[in-house]
Structure 1
Amino acid sequence: MSTSKRQMRLGAFIMATGHHIAAWRHPEAQADAGLNIDHYRELAQTAERGKFDLVFVADSPAGWDRAKDPEALRRTAQGAHFEPLTLWAALSQVTKHIGFVATASTTYEDPYLLARRFASLDYISKGRAAWNVVTTGADVSKNFSIAGHPAHADRYERAEEFVDLVKGLWDSYEDDAFIRDKESGVYLDPDKVHLVDHKGKFFSVAGPLNVGRPVQGYPVIVQAGASEPGRELAARTAEMIFTANQTFEDAQEFYTDVKGRLARYGRRPDELLISPGIFPVLGGTEAEAQANYDHIQSLVHPSIAWNILARHYKGID
């Protein structure tokens, strides 16, 4: 029987003005939160004081599509926010312990540049960086020089190669490659610098990376995919997976399925942390919490409500 002490891990999933679509309209909300560094600093420091393990922001490499979603553009506050690695680099300087999970896309990013940015964040934060690996479900290809949004299966095939390549780049330098001996004048041991020399289906990269080996070796790998290839990618590569199951039975199925896949990659079940999301509405009493929830619900504009329904019931007028 295991004698290890199990602990609950807490992460704060920060949306600029809150997860509720109308939260920005609340009288006490910071309406400009997405572009307000003081707001994010207060949230990160509060989470750290509360002993949270990490803070996380979702991200997409595009804004709202005005033609497809004019009411969303008009009435929601989630379209303008900081680029996550830039944000976390700043907030790492006003915190000491909390981890920073940044979302970055394997479909619309470059492996070399991504590996460089996350390695830099790991140094700047002194070993507190984590990468949330996403393939980007929405078609944002018009913002990039690619011929249309890749199919789901193609995005995950690319993601598998992408993650392996990034890890290879993080291995460019051995832990003790930098000598920095002023007496002898030797700064670096060339025998401890390695080319990745990768030639795959999607990428051809020589290396080495121009940042030293990250403080953690690899920044923590996080994943959030619930599809078949998403679960498989998480089982092979991730240390943590976000999930948002709507029923207890679905959560059990997801947990059992993903944990059961680890053995085929030589991994133990405890090597992957599964983190289910909750959406808390707070109050001094249950009645007060219910009143707070009802108030926020009352702020949802009818056009936004219809917009949300239309996304879930496609093809129905």
Structure 2
Amino acid sequence: MSKRQLKLGLVPTGVGGPGNYNRWLDPEIPATASVDINWFADIARQAEDAKFDWLFIVDSQFITPNSPPHYLSRLEPLTLLSALAMVTRHIGLVGTLSTSYNDPFNIARRLASLDLISGGRAGWNVVTTGDAGTASNFSREEHFDYEERHSRAEEAIEVARGLWRSYEDGALPRDRERKLFLDPSKLHSLNHKGRHFSVAGPLNIERSPQGEPIIFQAGDSNPGRDLGARFADAVFTHGSTLEATRAFRDDMRKRAASFGRAPDNVLISPGIKFVIGDTDTDAVELERHYAEHDHSFDWALREFGRLFGWHDFTIYDLDAPFPAEVLKLAEKSWYTAAKAITERAVAEKLSLRQVVEATQNRGRVASVGRGKPFVGSPVTVANSIAEWFENGALDGLNIYLEHPAQFRRFVAEVLPILREKGVVRTEYEGTTLRENLGLSHG
């Protein structure tokens, strides 16, 4: 059996996602990066040269003037990834598609197309859409409630997988001598009739070299965790501490086993952000510099309402106690996150200002009591990653691409240390995403 190795994903957010409102001022980042295919192509090639497993494109379908710069104007994921398939050969191409605002036939067809175009490298990040405003762009008066969103997601995944299996291997012999293009016995209708969808099938596209796309998913609520444990090949989460991340991985493996799955087939990949300096002290100073220059409290306050159905928090006294009654506004948005924020604010008697500042800082880098393990010299960062991996906290990392110079340092200075430790690969194992993730044919 080959040695277990860390899987690496890269998340490019162009001119700056949540909390990074001023990152686009970095002169190394084109002001049009989020819609510049050449910028994405360059990033994809860099990640592939570094032997990353996947490139992950996040998405949403509703904005306000208070949305972060990258959200205001960005390319649609599968269109972007189809273009990137033509300039890469090994790296996986993972796109976000909502089960709340897409029908499973279209989801299955678009992803199967990307899978064929890329030679078996497509992945689907399943989201249920937490942004309640999205309903207004899809002819709905109201966003689906929490239970409805997860129920739709479960059924949509089942339908998409059923459609991907419309053709058996060898169903299209394309035999000119026998004038036989199709073997009808190997083409199957789906004839699905469920609570949310009615889909006859079959899907009008054949299977790729990896069989079918990889399923990615993120969600920390109980229904979200069950969804990932039941269906996902890889699960995204937040890496707060080694202990918390390991507890999440253990919980997801137990849930996967309860659904009759092999627990090791669910890869846990927390998102991390890092800051690398010549020394640990240099890195701390550089982190402080980025905190001052990339982040804006005024922007954070305006965007804070996104979790609560885009409620306007600028109307409150910043130094008064956090208005806990707003939690009810999050019932059709990101309720789990909003509930955790509200409960902490009440328990610790925090002001609105303190809550926004804490939320703004959340996830910039993972931190523990003894310091910030992903802020430091290349050796410090590499050792921290190796420690988390070897102590069972994670199977992969979803690395946020922020400042280009920092990513170059990660590739040039951190990855060689991890390779020397045997933590990451030196070459790709195969040509499909499934092969490179060590997963069986779909």
Residue 101 (structure 1) aligns with: 94
1:303 aligns with 2:298: yes
Residue 32 (structure 2) aligns with: 32
Secondary structure at 2:7's aligned position in 1?
Answer: coil
Deviation at 1:266, TM superposition (A): 1.8
Residue 85 (structure 1) aligns with: 78
Residue 170 (structure 1) aligns with: 164
Secondary structure at 1:178's aligned position in 2?
Answer: coil
Amino acid at match of 1:97: H
Map 1:14-29 onto structure 2 (within 5 A).
14-19=12-17, 20-29=20-29
Residue 47 (structure 1) aligns with: 47
Contact 2:154 2:227 in 1 (8 A): yes
Cα deviation per residue 1:166-200 (whole Å; 9 max; x = unaligned)?
A: 00110111111001010111100111110000000
Residue 231 (structure 2) aligns with: 237
Secondary structure at 1:186's aligned position in 2?
Answer: coil
Deviation at 1:18, TM superposition (A): 4.4
Contact 1:16 1:78 in 2 (8 A): no
1:61 aligns with 2:61: yes
Contact 1:26 1:296 in 2 (8 A): no
Contact 1:34 1:82 in 2 (8 A): yes
With 22-31 and 286-295 compared, the bigger mean Cα shift is at 286-295
- Distance in 2, Cα, partners of 1:210 & 1:133: 22
Cα deviation per residue 1:109-168 (whole Å; 9 max; x = unaligned)?
A: 111111000000000000000000110001110000234101111100111110000001
Residue 341 (structure 2) aligns with: none
Secondary structure at 1:103's aligned position in 2?
Answer: strand
- Distance in 1, Cα, partners of 2:69 & 2:172: 49
- Distance in 1, Cα, partners of 2:299 & 2:171: 55
With 239-248 and 300-309 compared, the bigger mean Cα shift is at 300-309
Amino acid at match of 1:227: S
Residue 135 (structure 1) aligns with: 128
Contact 2:119 2:208 in 1 (8 A): no
Residue 212 (structure 2) aligns with: 218
Greater per-residue helix proportion = 2
Deviation at 1:295, TM superposition (A): 2.7
Secondary structure at 1:157's aligned position in 2?
Answer: helix
1:249 aligns with 2:261: no
1:282 aligns with 2:282: no
Contact 2:239 2:272 in 1 (8 A): no
Deviation at 1:213, TM superposition (A): 2.1
Q: TM-score scaled by structure 2? A: 0.66
Amino acid at match of 1:12: L
Describe the shift of the 1:119–1:7 C-alpha distance in structure 2 as closer, same or farther (beyond 3 A): same
Q: Which has the higher contact order (CA 8 A, sep 6+)?
A: 2
- Distance in 1, Cα, partners of 2:88 & 2:148: 39
Residue 153 (structure 2) aligns with: 159
Cα deviation per residue 1:261-292 (whole Å; 9 max; x = unaligned)?
A: 11222211211100011101233333443343
- Distance in 2, Cα, partners of 1:308 & 1:248: 29
Cα deviation per residue 1:222-266 (whole Å; 9 max; x = unaligned)?
A: 111111111111111110001113233321221111110112222
Structure 2 unaligned runs (5+)?
Answer: 308-321, 327-350, 353-442
Secondary structure at 1:307's aligned position in 2?
Answer: helix
Contact 2:235 2:267 in 1 (8 A): yes
Deviation at 1:310, TM superposition (A): 6.0
Count of aligned positions: 308
Residue 177 (structure 2) aligns with: 183
Deviation at 1:297, TM superposition (A): 2.1
Q: TM-score scaled by structure 1? A: 0.91
Two-structure CA RMSD over aligned residues (Å): 1.9
Residue 106 (structure 2) aligns with: 113
Deviation at 1:22, TM superposition (A): 2.2
Amino acid at match of 1:271: N
Amino acid at match of 1:27: P
Amino acid at match of 1:130: G
Secondary structure at 1:173's aligned position in 2?
Answer: coil
- Distance in 1, Cα, partners of 2:93 & 2:169: 23
With 235-244 and 277-286 compared, the bigger mean Cα shift is at 277-286
Contact 1:170 1:214 in 2 (8 A): no
Amino acid at match of 2:9: G
Amino acid at match of 1:143: N
Residue 293 (structure 1) aligns with: 287
- Distance in 2, Cα, partners of 1:232 & 1:49: 35
Counterpart of 2:6 (choices 5, 8, 12) is: 8
Amino acid at match of 2:183: D
- Distance in 1, Cα, partners of 2:282 & 2:156: 48
Cα deviation per residue 1:13-54 (whole Å; 9 max; x = unaligned)?
A: 111124533211223222211011111011000000111111
Amino acid at match of 1:92: A
Secondary structure at 1:243's aligned position in 2?
Answer: strand
Counterpart of 2:257 (choices 245, 263, 271) is: 263
Amino acid at match of 1:35: V
